[in-house]
Amino acid sequence: MAQDLADLSLVEALGSIEAGTCQAGDIVESCLDRIEALEPRVRAWQHRPDRKAFMAGWRSRQASHGQSPLKGLLVGVKDIMDTTEFPTERGSSIYRGRMATADASCVALLRWAGAEFPGKTVTTEFAYFQPGQTTNPHRQTHTPGGSSSGSAAAVACGMVPVALGSQTAGSTIRPASYCGVVGFVPSHGLHALRGVMPLSPSFDTLGMLTRSVADAALIHRLLLDGRSDGRPDTCRPRRILLMSGEQFGEVSPSMTSAMETVADRLKEHEVEIVQTDRLACMDDAVATHERIMAFEAARTLASEYASRRSELGPQLLQLLEVGQAMGLEEYLHLLERRDGMIRTYAEAVAGFDGIAAPAAPDAAPRGTDFTGSAHMSRPWQLIGVPQIALPGLRDPNEMPLGVQLIGLTRQDERLLGLAAWFELKVFSVKA
């Protein structure tokens, strides 16, 4: 597809509007054209307004857009996030047609900043594993990943420049990797999650799907304190820990080869790298994450488990049953283990500018009745550190392979600066 206005990143689009080379309305129309053209195949949207009505509303708010940071540009919103103008169905028949009485915090903050919402993006059932209808924009036969399936797919094919997602296990990093976009998961606890359907509060985190690191940094900062004037300070690393991912699960030859490409390019830039298959402090991290998540999900979804059980998918039901059977002592023990990992992780990576690791075990697998494995994300989500998946590499079938960078808790700005350097120096290189 030829480059058109819909392919501009958010920061590029805002720059063009600022410079007077194009108008926000034209960019929005270009995105809506893209949605109309590709939605029959990609199916990224759970709810979409009538185009004419949407644009009439958009024009009526145009005066206030002009003064706003986001100028009326489009943001996709995952359908576990409450919005006042669309239903919020959480990927479940239980909530078909459910209208929320207020915007989720993240939606309200972006609306306030001048974002417009052209609908809700498809989520898996309650942001767990049961897929929605979305396909991978790169190949219709392949999963887009989950649970932020629609958000990743919509951003990948230019329907919107950015979309909100969430991550409890691997729900932003994995679909970003499969769809070939940037997926940013900030430190746990930073962003307000009111109005976002929870699953496991110790892990639930807002996610951002974008086509550039600068876009992720802009949305992150806008949500936190309304600032829109900063860009991440590109930060050249001196020392990177490269993890194979094999500690957490099987990694494909293509992904292993992608990690070797990263290693080679870092060497070309004279970045010191330490390669390892294992971070001792993260042994059992996957299982610890899975068990805590099961315990918390069973309490969080107690209402649906008690009264709407027949409407829950089999994977979610199994998770809730595992969690129901767990006792308090095990839960407290797992939280202690997690706290220990948080401490030892900080010590283990103290000498590095960051960790680079596979964002998923492989490129998107063939099939759309599953969303792939979250194992490459669970360890980092367990300890609440910021993570960012970067696109740029491909497997022999031209399917995207994402590489993630992992940072230190609440050093999100530093991780974004590192990611900006990788985006420029490692992933912009044509393979």
Distance CA 396, CA 83 (A): 41
Contact flag: residue 47 with a second copy (CB under 8 A): no
- Among residues 92, 105, 147, 148, the one annotated as catalytic is 147
Contact flag: residue 331 with a second copy (CB under 8 A): yes
CB of 102 to a second copy, least distance (A): 4
Contact flag: residue 105 with a second copy (CB under 8 A): yes
Pairing label, strands 239-243, 75-78: unpaired
Contact set for a second copy, span 188-217 (CB under 8 A): 189, 191-195, 197-198, 201-202
Name the one range near a second copy by CB under 8 A: 23-31, 134-142, 210-218, 322-330: 322-330
CB of 219 to a second copy, least distance (A): 13
The answer to whether 359 touches 174, Cβ cutoff 8 Å, is: yes
| Cβ nearer to a second copy, comparing 98 with 238 | 98
Q: Which residue has the tokens 């690791």?
A: 357
| Cβ nearer to a second copy, comparing 261 with 324 | 324
Q: Which of 55, 273, 322, 335 binds a second copy (CB under 8 A)?
A: 335
Q: Give me the helices (H) in 231-283, please.
A: 253-268
Site mask for a second copy (CB under 8 A), range 368-407, x = bound: ----------------------------------------
Name the one range near a second copy by CB under 8 A: 54-62, 248-256, 328-336, 378-386: 328-336
CA 13 to chain centre: 21
Contact flag: residue 346 with a second copy (CB under 8 A): no
Contact flag: residue 78 with a second copy (CB under 8 A): no
| Cβ nearer to a second copy, comparing 362 with 412 | 412
Q: Which residue has the tokens 């031209």?
A: 398
Q: Which of 79, 215, 296, 362 binds a second copy (CB under 8 A)?
A: 296
**What are the φ and ψ backbone dihedral angles of 276, each rounded to 5 degrees?**
-150, 155
Q: Select from 79, 43, 129, 98 the least CA-distant residue to 313.
A: 129
Tokens found for residue 70: 């986001």
Contact set for a second copy, span 220-239 (CB under 8 A): 221, 223-227
| Cβ nearer to a second copy, comparing 139 with 410 | 410
Residue 78 known to be catalytic: yes
Residue 377 known to be catalytic: no
Crossing angle of helices 149-156 and 24-42, rounded to 10°: 120
- DSSP states of 9-38: -HHHHHHHHHHTSS-HHHHHHHHHHHHHHH
Q: Select from 175, 118, 184 the least CA-distant residue to 149.
A: 175
Task: Count residues binding a second copy (CB under 8 A).
Answer: 46
CA 359 to chain centre: 11
CB of 413 to a second copy, least distance (A): 9
Distance CA 120, CA 343 (A): 38
Cα–Cα distances (Å) from 401 to 52, 100, 276, 291, 358, in that order, read 38, 37, 20, 28, 8
Distance CA 230, CA 302 (A): 42
| Cβ nearer to a second copy, comparing 124 with 134 | 124
Q: Which of 108, 263, 273, 348 binds a second copy (CB under 8 A)?
A: 108
- Among residues 166, 171, 187, 200, the one annotated as catalytic is 171
CB of 334 to a second copy, least distance (A): 11
Tokens found for residue 57: 């509303």
| Cβ nearer to a second copy, comparing 79 with 296 | 296
270: left (phi over 0), alpha (psi -120 to 50) or beta: left
Name the one range near a second copy by CB under 8 A: 144-152, 256-264, 274-282, 300-308: 300-308
Positive or negative torsion for Cα 270, 275, 280, 282: positive
Residue 187 known to be catalytic: no
The answer to whether 397 touches 220, Cβ cutoff 8 Å, is: no
CB of 341 to a second copy, least distance (A): 16
Tokens found for residue 118: 């052209």
Q: Which of 41, 98, 269, 278 binds a second copy (CB under 8 A)?
A: 98
Q: Select from 298, 79, 76, 113 the least CA-distant residue to 195.
A: 79
Contact flag: residue 306 with a second copy (CB under 8 A): yes
Contact flag: residue 274 with a second copy (CB under 8 A): no
Question: 241 has which bridge partners?
Answer: 274, 355
Name the one range near a second copy by CB under 8 A: 97-105, 130-138, 346-354, 422-430: 97-105
Under the rule (CB under 8 A), what is the footprint of a second copy?
95, 98, 101-105, 107-109, 111-112, 189, 191-195, 197-198, 201-202, 221, 223-227, 296, 299-304, 306-307, 324, 326-328, 331-332, 335-336, 410
Which residues have a catalytic role annotated? 78, 147, 171
